[in-house]
């Protein structure tokens, strides 16, 4: 739509700006809900890598901070 309403020279740089802003917003919005589960997966892999065995992981979220309890 912008290509029809603004000059070509403006759209050349404005297209990149719009893309970067949209990607940044997507990272912020999409990354927030995924942070806790990702942290739990990384913690489980770290423990599994050290011990060489599978472990059960219980994850609780307290005030935005993931709490990981590992059972052997």
pLDDT at 19: 95
Q: How far is CA 68 from the centre of its chain?
A: 18
pLDDT tens sequence across 32-41: 777 788 888 8
Please give the C-alpha separations between residue 9 and each of 12, 14, 15, 54, 69, in angstroms, as whole numbers.
5, 9, 10, 57, 56
Whole-model pTM: value is 0.44
CA distance 72 to 55: 6
pLDDT tens sequence across 5-62: 889 899 999 999 999 999 999 888 887 777 788 888 898 888 887 665 555 555 555 5
55-72 mean pLDDT: 53
């Amino acid at each position: 739509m912008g290509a029809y309403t603004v000059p070509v020279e403006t759209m050349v740089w404005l297209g990149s700006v719009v893309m970067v802003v949209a990607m940044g917003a997507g990272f912020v919005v999409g990354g927030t809900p995924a942070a806790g589960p990702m942290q739990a997966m990384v913690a489980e892999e770290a423990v599994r890598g050290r011990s060489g065995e599978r472990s059960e992981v219980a994850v609780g979220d307290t005030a935005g901070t993931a709490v990981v309890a590992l059972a052997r």
